[in-house]
Chains A and B, each alone.
Chain A
Amino acid sequence: MHRTLAILAVLPVIASAQSDATHITAHRLNRTEYNNTIRDLLAVDFQPAADFPADDSGYGFDNIADVLSLSPVLMEKYLAAAEKIAHAATVAPPLPKPTVARHGRGENRASGQSSSLIVSHRFRAEGDYKLIVTVTGRKDPAKLELLLDGQPYRLRPLEGGAENRRTAELTAHIAYGEHILQGNLIPDGLPVPDLDYESGKSKKPLPDPSVNQIEIQGPYDPLSPPTPESFKGVFTCTLPAGRESLDCARVDLANLARRAYRRPVSEAELDGLVHFIQAAKEQGDSFDRGIQLALTAILVSPHFLFRIERDPTNEFELASRLSYFLWSSMPDEQLLRIAAAGQLHQPEVLHAQVERMLAAGKSRALVDNFGSQWLELRNIDVIQPDPDRFPDFNDSLRNDMKRETQLFFQSIISEDRSILDFIDSDYTFLNARLAKFYGLPPVDSNKLERVQLPPDSHRGGVITQASILTVSSYPTRTSPVLRGKWILENLLNAAPPPPPPDVPNLDEKAVGVSASMRQQLEAHRTNPICNPCHARMDPLGFGLENFDAIGRWRTHEGNFPIDSAGKLPNGKTFDGPDGLKQLLLADKRTFTKCLTEKLLTYALGRGLNESDDTKIQSIVDETVASNYKFRALVQAIAAQALVRVTPPLTAKQGGQP
Chain B
Amino acid sequence: MIVTRRYLSRRTLLRGFGAAISLPLLDAMTPAFAATAQAASPKRIAFVYVPNGIIMKNWTPAAEGKEFGLTRILAPLADVRDDVLVVSGLRQENGFDLGDTPGDHARAAATFLTGVHPRKTAGADIRAGVSVDQVAAQHIGQATKFASLEFGLEDGRLTGTCDSGYSCAYSNTISWRTPTSPMPMEVNPRAAFERLFGVERETPEARARRQNYEKSILDFVSDATRQLSGQLGAADRRKMDEYLASVREIERRIQMSEKEDRQIIPDFDKPEGVPAAFEDYARLMFDMLWLALKCDLARVSTFMLGREGSLRTYREIGIADAHHPLTHHRGNLEWIEKVTQINTHHVEQFAYFLAKLKSTPDGDGTLLDHTTVLYGSGLSDGNRHDHADLPLLVAGGRMGGGHLRYPKETPMNNLHLTLLDRVDVKLESLGDSNGELDNLAS
Chain A positions within 8 Å of B, measured between CB atoms, are: 15, 18, 23, 25-26, 28, 51, 53-60, 62, 64, 66-67, 69-76, 79-80, 83, 269, 272, 275-276, 279-280, 283, 293, 296-297, 300-303, 305-306, 308, 310, 372-373, 376-379, 382, 384, 386-389, 474-476, 489, 495, 497-509, 606-607
Contact = CB atoms under 8 A, between A and B. Distances in A.
Contact of B184 (A54, A305, A495, A507): A54
A301 B247 CA distance: 11
Contacts of A386: 313, 320-321
Contacts of A64: 123, 167
B228 A71 contact: no
Given A310-B232, A379-B158, A502 B384 contact: yes
A297 B213 CA distance: 10
Contacts of B147: 72
Interface of B: 101-104, 121-126, 147, 150, 155-164, 167-169, 172, 177, 180-188, 191, 194-195, 199, 209-210, 212-214, 216-218, 220-221, 223-225, 228, 231-236, 239-240, 242-243, 245-247, 249-250, 253, 311, 313, 315, 320-322, 325, 328, 330-332, 334, 383-385
A66 B224 contact: no
B234 to A, nearest CB: 7
What is the interface of chain A mostly: helix, strand, loop, or mixed?
A: loop
B163 A498 contact: yes
B270 to A, nearest CB: 13
A386 B228 CA distance: 53
B124 A71 contact: no
Given A75-B243, A379-B159, A501 B328 contact: yes
Contact of B250 (A79, A377, A502): A79
A296 B157 CA distance: 28
10 contacts: A55-B156, A56-B182, A60-B122, A60-B161, A70-B242, A75-B249, A293-B217, A378-B158, A386-B313, A502-B330
B158 A69 contact: no
B217 to A, nearest CB: 5
Contacts of B181: 69, 71
Given A57-B167, A71-B184, A504 B224 contact: no
A28 B239 contact: yes
Given A26-B239, A293-B217, A505 B331 contact: yes
A66 B125 contact: yes
A75 B194 CA distance: 15
B250 A379 contact: no
Contact of B384 (A62, A476, A501): A501
Contacts of B161: 59-60, 489, 495
A301 B168 contact: no
B235 A25 contact: yes
A60 B383 contact: no
A462 B311 CA distance: 23
Contacts of B250: 72, 75-76, 79
Contact of A476 (B182, B184, B199, B320): B320
Contact of B159 (A272, A275, A377, A508): A377
A308 B233 CA distance: 11
B190 to A, nearest CB: 8
A52 B175 CA distance: 17
A71 B217 contact: no
A310 B243 contact: no
Contacts of B315: 384, 387
B106 to A, nearest CB: 11
A66 B180 CA distance: 10
B182 A71 contact: yes
B313 to A, nearest CB: 5
A354 to B, nearest CB: 25
Given A303-B228, A379-B159, A500-B102, A53 B246 contact: no
A498 B105 CA distance: 11
A73 B183 contact: yes
Nearest to B156: A54
Nearest to B331: A505
Nearest to A297: B217
A217 to B, nearest CB: 21
B159 A58 contact: no
A56 B168 contact: yes
A507 B332 contact: yes
Contacts of B321: 386, 474-476
Nearest to B126: A67
A386 B315 CA distance: 9
Given A76-B195, A297-B220, A310-B232, A67 B167 contact: yes
B100 to A, nearest CB: 11
A372 B328 CA distance: 28
A300 B236 contact: no
A214 to B, nearest CB: 19
A310 B230 CA distance: 11
Given A56-B172, A388-B320, A73 B236 contact: no
Given A76-B253, A384-B315, A389-B320, 16 more contacts: A26-B239, A54-B156, A56-B167, A60-B161, A67-B168, A71-B177, A71-B183, A72-B177, A269-B224, A272-B223, A302-B228, A386-B321, A475-B321, A502-B330, A502-B383, A607-B122
Contacts of B159: 57, 60, 62, 372-373, 376-379
Contact of B247 (A75, A303, A388, A489): A75
B231 A310 contact: yes
B228 to A, nearest CB: 6
Contacts of A60: 122, 159-161
Contacts of B180: 69
A302 B241 CA distance: 11
B281 to A, nearest CB: 14
B186 to A, nearest CB: 7
A61 to B, nearest CB: 8
A297 B250 CA distance: 14
A279 B209 CA distance: 11
A386 B212 CA distance: 54
Contacts of A306: 239, 243
A23 B235 CA distance: 10
B169 A69 contact: yes
A506 B332 CA distance: 9
B286 to A, nearest CB: 19
B167 A58 contact: yes
A56 B220 contact: no
Contact of B124 (A66, A300, A305, A373): A66
Given A272-B220, A501-B384, A607-B122, A376 B242 contact: no
Contact of B232 (A26, A51, A62, A497): A26
Chain A to chain B: the 3 pairs with minimum beta-carbon distance, closest first: A58-B123, A53-B184, A75-B246
A382 B158 contact: yes
A279 B216 contact: yes
A549 to B, nearest CB: 11
A58 B121 CA distance: 8
A523 B48 CA distance: 40
B221 A474 contact: no
A23 B237 CA distance: 14
Contacts of B331: 505
